[in-house]
Amino acid sequence: MATYDYDLGILGGGAAGLTVAAGGAQFGAKVLLVEKTGRLGGECLHTGCVPSKTLIRTAGVWALARRTPEFGLPALELPEVDLGAVMARVRSVIEAIQEHDSPERFCRLGAEVRFGSARFVDDHTVDLDGRRISARAWVVATGSRPALPPVDGLSDTPHWTNETVFGQTRLPGRLLVLGGGPIGVELAQAFQRLGSRVTVVEFLDQILGPEDPDVAAILRQRLEAEGMEILTATRAVRAEPDGAGVRLTVAPSSGPGEARVLEADALLVATGRRPNVEDLGLEAAGVEVGPRGIPTDARLRTNVRHIYACGDVNGVFPFTHVAGYEASVALSNAILRLPRKADYAKVPWCTYTDPEVASVGLNEKRAREQGVKYRVLEASFADNDRALAEGEAAGKIKVLVSPKGKVLGCQIVGAHAGELIHEWVVAVAGGVRLATLAGAIHVYPTLSEISKRAAGAYFAEKLFSDRTKGVLRFLFQIKGRACTPDSPAPEP
């Protein structure tokens, strides 16, 4: 039997790699984690989830300060924002969280951390800066990076990505955002609220392409009300420097139409991600690579069965929580030898705009694509007492159910949608019946009552139908309506 230096080797110290390393070490395996950048935490901690949500929170506070008259308070005169101070707070949050992702912590758990560039020399061995290291199984979790679209002149034009935007210290007066997906609209709204005049350019007919059009429209209405210009069905043709700023020529995505030139002080590109698969020596290990990354089976195995791929590098879902989930699946197979499989049908996600947009399971787009029969249950934030008290009446919940009432999916656009969606994550993942959700007692007044209202809508039309009323009149001789809108007022 072959002997190896480690039971498990991991390339990449982001969400997936850290999860595998911590779990493997706590199971008693000899684990090596290799990270090339010199710091743990990956894209999520340093240039993704953590800094973006910190920036969004700061911008949200500033936007709320502008709304004081809505709450019966005096209007405030707000000074210009110091973006350097804002980004200093972003860095402080990253540094606080970084302590939880230190090599010392993982050493205490039993996992060794090394920094450097590792490259496979065969399917069990890597070269780490000149030293050969072997492991019985390997996990590739090297993540992804921003992908630049094929726009003429873009590579020669100064631009930001999520990797550079959090290092900026001067707030641009005019900002162009190329891409209307989650990263694009989140950062666009943050800068709009901090004081930039933002224009978003999106190739598709709507922002947040995977979401239902009516859901995306609610968010768009809010963004435009805050002063943002959104150009959908629009493609970028050419980018070029313009003094200290940039010029972007755009045209309709399809069909005839005149080109238009947009000018701004800065350009943020947020048009997708590409997997980090270069310089890993995957060909030496016999690992196949596809256009979206490293393909895997449901057990997260590559075509080389003892090499796994988790997180953004496999091209399935670019979410930190999915990376952690995939890591747990790979760990179960690599260390525990349990044939556990990933199930992506129940993956939730959230776009952290205001209002937030959260989803789990099927929406109408995906249901139609899959030929699934469904009906829609809806409830509005405008009919929720807590939403009115909070001044957050915009938005709604959409629940898709089968003809027999099985929960197929849920979409929420509104305040705290990312928190509210979890009741429906449990419903979808655990097969919770609508009757259970509708019958559960929800605290009043809370936003979560909107979920009870949506679930109850399925039963209301049957429970309060004319047939039910007729049966009750027959059995119990009830008298019927006491008032109708057009009836005369009773005499005093």
- Which two three-digit tokens encode residue 1? 């039997």
Whether 6-146+274-344 and 355-466 share one fold: the answer is no
CA proximity to 209, closest of 227, 185, 175, 242: 185
Q: How far is CA 470 from CA 121, 464, 465, 477, 482, in A?
A: 79, 10, 9, 10, 16
CA proximity to 144, closest of 211, 47, 51: 47
Cβ neighbours around 227 below 10 Å, total:
11
Give the start-end residues of each E strand in 300-438. Answer: 307-309, 348-351, 356-361, 375-380, 396-401, 407-414
CATH topology of domain 6-146+274-344: FAD/NAD(P)-binding domain (3.50.50)
Which pTM was predicted? 0.94
CA proximity to 339, closest of 387, 400, 297, 396: 297
From first to last of its 492 residues, the chain has per-residue pLDDT tens of: 679 999 999 999 999 999 999 999 999 999 999 999 999 999 999 999 999 999 999 999 999 999 999 999 999 999 999 999 999 999 999 999 998 899 999 999 999 999 999 999 999 999 999 999 999 999 999 999 999 999 999 999 999 999 999 999 999 999 999 999 999 999 999 999 999 999 999 999 999 999 999 999 999 999 999 999 999 999 999 999 999 999 999 999 987 889 999 999 999 999 999 999 999 999 999 999 999 999 999 999 999 999 999 999 999 999 999 999 999 999 999 999 989 999 999 999 999 999 999 999 999 999 999 999 999 999 999 999 999 999 999 999 999 999 999 999 999 999 999 999 999 999 999 999 999 999 999 999 999 999 999 999 998 877 777 787 788 787 888 888 888 877 666 666
pLDDT at 1 (0 to 100): 63
pLDDT at 347 (0 to 100): 96
Domain boundaries, given as residue ranges, for the chain: 6-146+274-344, 154-272, 355-466
Question: What is the tally of helices (H) and strands (E) in the chain?
Answer: 15, 21
Q: How many residues does the chain have?
A: 492
Q: For residue 90, which amino acid is it? A: V
> Which helix (DSSP H) or strand (DSSP E) does residue 192 occupy?
helix 182-194
Place of tokens 């019985």: 136
CATH topology of domain 355-466: Enolase-like; domain 1 (3.30.390)
**Per-position b or e across 108-122, b if 16+ CB within 10 A of its CB:** eebbbbebeebbbee
pLDDT at 61 (0 to 100): 98
Q: How far is residue 161's CA from residue 332's CA, in Å, rounded to a whole number? A: 35
- What's the sign of the alpha-carbon dihedral 341, 344, 346, 352? positive
- DSSP per-residue letters across 293-308: B----TTSB-SSTTEE
**Burial tier of 164 (Cβ tally within 10 Å: 0-12, 13-18, 19+):** middle
Contact status, residue 429 vs residue 457, Cβ threshold 8 Å: no
The CATH H-level superfamily of 154-272 is: FAD/NAD(P)-binding domain (3.50.50.60)
Query: Pairing mode, if any, of strands 6-11 and 245-252?
Result: unpaired
**Per-position b or e across 346-370, b if 16+ CB within 10 A of its CB:** ebbbbbbbbbbbbbbbbbbebbeee
